[in-house]
Structure 1
Amino acid sequence: MHIRTRAAVLAALVLIVSLVAAPVAAATAQLGAVTVEGDAVVQTDANETYLWQSEPFSVNTSFATDTDGVYQFCLEAQSENGSERLSCQSQSVEEGTTTSVSFTVQNVSDTELAGETQLNVSASESFNSSSATVNRSVSVYVITKDGDFDDDGLENRVEVRYGSEMNGTDTDGDGLQDGPEIREYETDPTDNDSDGDGLLDSRELQIGTDPTNPDTDGDGLTDGEEINEFETDPKETDTDGDGLPDGKEVQQHGTDPTDPDTDGDGLRDDREVVQGTVPNDEADSDEDGLDDTEEVKHGTNASKADTDGDFLSDSTEVRLGTDPTDPTTPLVLLAGLGFLVVGLVGFLRVFGPDDVRTWVAERDVVSRVATLSATDAATNGSDVSTSDGSSTTSTSPASVGSAESTTSTAPAAGDGSMETTDAEAADDELPFDLSDPLTDEDEVLKLLYEADGRLRQSEINNSTEWSKSKVSRLLSRMEDEGKIRKITIGRENLVTLADRVPQSAESPFDEDDS
């Protein structure tokens, strides 16, 4: 009987324990993510939230459970200075629902909370001491407005104003701390290139340029372009001292801002710009036959083919030995040469051997020498006297090279008759096939054939639309090859086929005695 009683009691106890334990084991509870909002929240970056110690804020979360009941929710804060319970509240929770939980905190100024702080929310069933407590927390930084959390020389309130990092001394990574950027250099602590000129703020301070001005010297080039691209001085408007700002050299003239004489022709870049020559090309700017360097040596104007305006190009005067800067010297030379030649020929006609006197008489050397002198002088239609008192008229440059034939008249030495030489008619058959692609030389020859063998060089320039320098080089090469002749008349060249050279331009001693 005693044994039965004990068994019954034991069975009753097992039943009671199972009835009580079963619901507790089945109960579950869960808190959602904890967030912080309100005036106290001043900055959130890199998963770090900063709170003003003196401003209100709220802490929010959610709670869900599968058991009806009354739950207590508490908010506690813990920092390196200690921990403190900030608020507690009770709420009824229904099974299978999610309940919002929110705490409002006016400020934590009267606490010892500072620096990194853990805000912890806990939930436990109010009338069930055996129920488990559920916790969820969030990390924040409690700071004061006048403090300097990262010790970069900026108060926390100033960091908020400029958007710099609260916990980073060099927000933009330019090598300058945020404090000096604002207070000393007036640069942007959130932009490593405050003026956008291609140079870091710290680099600009190192080389002495203004990190808030993209063009420190105001020459038209940004500081970055000057350092990284053109190797000019960003603190000097005219790096090479040639009188041209670096920006104009690069953007307008195509010259080297680090070399005062870009093309090495002896003329400084600014002088070439003023007088109209090409400062980045050492060729013959005025195409007078003298390179710019030679013009410097002779004191002539490299942008003007005839410096002294005497109707002889500078190169012609240099070859003749006259002064290309003095319009009177060619006349003196030509007059002297004329008298000398005429006197020599006259002497040979009277006192020379019989064969020489006969040759001179037959070819009327005196008249032809006078005509040649008149052509070389390129006077505008003036008369030049011959040895016997008659006159020879030279053709003006404007008429030379036209399709009209050029006539030179002079009295014959023997019988007083007049000799007239017309340009030969152009050959109907060109020395190349027009159906084939024409070379540059073919183009020139075609123009000459169409113009009866003679053209001014300027007309070739206009017809081909090539550059002057290209035409000049091509004609020089063709003359070297014996295909054409260039005859200088006044300030331009007359171009002829090799077999169509005007008789007045030939030397009388080039002809055969036959």
Structure 2
Amino acid sequence: MSDGARVLAGILCLVVLASAAVPAVAQSGAGIGEVEVSGEGVIAATESGNGSTYLWSDESVNVSVEFTDYPEARNYRVCLGADREQAVDELDCNPKALSAGTNGTAEFANVTWPANTTGQQGLVVELQKLSNESNATVLDRTTVPVAVLRRQGDLDGDGLANAREVEAGYNVSNPDMDADGLTDGAEVNQYGSDPQDPDSDGDGIRDGIEIQRGTDPTTGDTDGDGLADPLEATLGTNPTNDLTPVWLVVGLVLVVAVLVAIGVFGRRQWRERSGELLTLGSNANSEPRADPDDGVDSTSGESTTEVAEPMPMTDEDRVLALLREHGGRMKQSQIVERTEWSKAKVSRLLSSMNEEGTVEKLSIGRENIISLDGHGPEAARSPHEENASD
């Protein structure tokens, strides 16, 4: 029989086997051992969910098939076929002869997949018993799942060609290897991030979330303002606005100003309250006593009774207390006499208190009249009436 007749007989055998004898072959369960596919046509370092071996459509592969001897059979043939949507194309056959109880190996070199055939396929391996050159009985059959790819195709639809993914060491069957919410093609072609690292810039925010927020997944500080994107996310500021530190400083200054204002107001209230307490204590201690030494200065005619201070007093507190003792109004010279301070010190202190609004300072002639709010001399009164009333 010619070689062409043998090939035709083999093809007819495989077609009949695929359509009618598959159940009988599946029940044999013996004969074929390990099937190894190797060569330049195999796409290495690629994971698959169904255990398929990935092959390039334009490259050949080598196939090694191990099989065991069957009783009462000495002549064998191992054949390869391409299972393409229920149609089996014969690829090659390798006749073998074994003695009883031995194992054999069939080697196939430069096996090429049928042209223009891609996608999920099956590499069919059959062990056949040869009764004569034209009569073969299938003893065992197995199918190795393969996926045939074109180099410029895109199996996982991630925007990267199969050849480019293989060259970069990416997985051609997984469109988002790092599961960060961005396809591998978008990370490589659009954002410049690493498709194998879910957090390319290491700032603690996944690349996909950064894109949603409008930040750069390749840098930890998108706007370059010195504040990391995660910190700005915590503060609630805009990580794409480089003026954020300025606004933070302005806000801090406003907060400090408010706190200072509250402190000044509280201190003024405390002073007024302290002055009221001192006034009450002064009135209680100024009642007439039987003691001849009643605390009246015979030279000036003014009371010199000392009032115990319930708490430390400032210079301003002493001035306020003196004013309250004298009905809310005194001459500046009287304050100098009562405090025994220098005229310069009293002048500076009263000017400061006048600026703060604690007291009112009115010049009448050559004399300065110091008064609490609401106790100043009326504008219609003359300096002589003021001196008489004092």
Distance 1:192 1:158 in 2: 20
Q: Following the alignment from structure 1 to structure 2, what is the Cα–Cα distance between the partners of residues 159 and 183? A: 12
Seen in structure 2, the aligned counterparts of structure 1 residues 363 and 232 have a Cα distance that, compared at 3 Å, is: farther
Within-5 A mapping of 1:35-114? 35-42=36-43, 43-46=46-49, 47-67=51-71, 69-80=74-85, 83-105=88-110, 107-108=112-113, 111-114=115-118
Match of 1:155 among 161, 170, 174: 161
Instruction: Report whether the alignment pairs 1:216 with 2:216.
Output: no
1:260 to 241, 246, 251: 251
Contact 1:82 1:113 in 2 (8 A): no
SS of the residue aligned with 1:126?
strand
Shift of 1:138: 0.5
* SS of equivalent residue, structure 1 residue 120: strand
Q: Aligned runs of 1:160-309 on 2, under 5 Å?
A: 160-219=166-225, 221-227=227-233, 229-237=234-242, 239=244, 241-244=246-249, 260-261=251-252, 267-268=253-254, 292-295=260-263
Give % identity: 30
Any idea what the Cα deviations from partners look like across 1:438-470, whole Å, max 9, x if unmatched? xxxxxxxxxxxxxxxxxxxxxxxxxxxxxxxxx
Cα pair distance change 1:216/1:359, threshold 3 Å: same
String of CA shifts for 1:190-227, please: whole Å, max 9, x gaps: 34433333433333222211121223234555434543
2:372 matched residue in structure 1: none
Q: How does 1:140-151 map to 2 (within 5 A)?
A: 140-151=146-157
Q: For the structure 1 residues 316 and 48, does the alpha-carbon distance in structure 2 shift closer, same or farther, using more than 3 Å as the test? A: same
Amino acid in structure 2 at the alignment position of 1:181: E
Query: Aligned in 2, Cα 1:219/1:354: closer, same or farther, shift over 3 Å?
Result: closer
Structure 1: how far apart are the matches of 2:248 and 2:231? 20
Rounded Cα–Cα distance in structure 1 between residues aligned with 2:337 and 2:228:
72
Q: What's the CA shift for 1:127?
A: 3.3
TM value normalised by structure 2? 0.55
Matches within 5 A, 1:316-331: 319=271
Q: Name the structure 1 match of 2:346.
A: none
**CA distance in structure 2 between the partners assigned to 1:242 and 1:318 by the alignment:** 35
Taking the aligned partners of 2:33 and 2:195, their CA distance within structure 1 comes to: 37
Alignment of 1:328-477 (within 5 A): 358-360=293-295
Query: 3-state DSSP class of the match of 1:157?
Result: helix
Match of 2:14 in 1: none
Contact kept? 1:240, 1:260, Cα under 8 Å:
no
Q: CA deviation at 1:75?
A: 1.4
Q: 1:387 to 1:63 in 2, by over 3 A?
A: closer
Deviation per CA, 1:138-161: give whole Å up to 9, x if none. Answer: 111111222223333211112223
Which gives a bigger RCO, structure 1 or 2 (Cα 8 Å, sep 6+)?
A: 2
Task: Give the distance between the partners of 1:81 and 1:363, measured in 2 at CA.
Answer: 133
Cα offset, 1:64, TM superposition: 0.8
Q: CA deviation at 1:51?
A: 0.8
What residue ranges of structure 1 are gaps of 5+ in the alignment?
A: 1-26, 245-258, 262-266, 273-281, 283-290, 299-314, 321-347, 379-385, 393-514
Alpha-carbon distance change, 163 to 268 in structure 1, aligned in 2, over 3 angstroms = farther
Q: Would you say the 8 A contact 2:194–2:200 is kept in 1?
A: yes
Give unpaired runs (5+ residues) of structure 2. Answer: 1-27, 273-285, 317-335, 342-390
Residue identity in the other structure for 2:184: D
For the Cα contact (< 8 Å) 1:53–1:143, is it kept in 2?
A: yes
Q: Quote the offset at 1:119 in angstroms.
A: 0.9
Between the aligned partners of 1:208 and 1:387, the Cα distance in structure 2 is 73
Q: CA deviation at 1:135?
A: 1.3
Sort the Cα spacing of 1:185 and 1:53 in 2 relative to 1 into closer, same or farther, 3 A: same
Shift, 1:356, TM fit: 9.5
Question: In the alignment, residue 117 of structure 2 is paired with which amino acid?
Answer: L
Structure 1 residue identity aligned to 2:294: W
The 3-state SS of whatever aligns with 1:77 is strand
3-state secondary structure, aligned to 1:214: coil
The separation in 1 between residues aligned to 2:268 and 2:42, in whole angstroms, is: 89
1:144–1:95: structure 2 CA closer, same or farther, 3 Å change rule?
same
- Cα distance in 1 for partners of 2:143, 2:101 equals 23
Size of the aligned set, in residue pairs, is: 273
Q: 1:319 to 1:38 in 2, by over 3 A?
A: same
Post-superposition offset of 1:31: 0.4
Number of the residue aligned with 1:125: 129
1:29–1:202 CA distance, 2 compared to 1 (3 A): closer
For residues 226 and 135 of structure 1, the distance between their equivalents in structure 2, rounded to whole angstroms, comes to 64
Checking the alignment, whether the CA contact within 8 Å between 1:116 and 1:141 is kept in structure 2 is: yes
Partner of 1:493: none
Which SS does the other structure have where 2:186 is aligned? helix
User: Comparing both structures, which one devotes a greater share of its residues to strand?
Assistant: 2
Q: CA RMSD in A?
A: 4.6
User: Does the residue aligned with 2:158 lie in a helix, a strand or coil?
Assistant: coil
| CA positional deviation for 1:71 | 1.2
TM-score by length of 1: 0.43
Q: CA deviation at 1:52?
A: 1.4
Q: Which amino acid in the other structure matches residue 271 of structure 2?
A: R
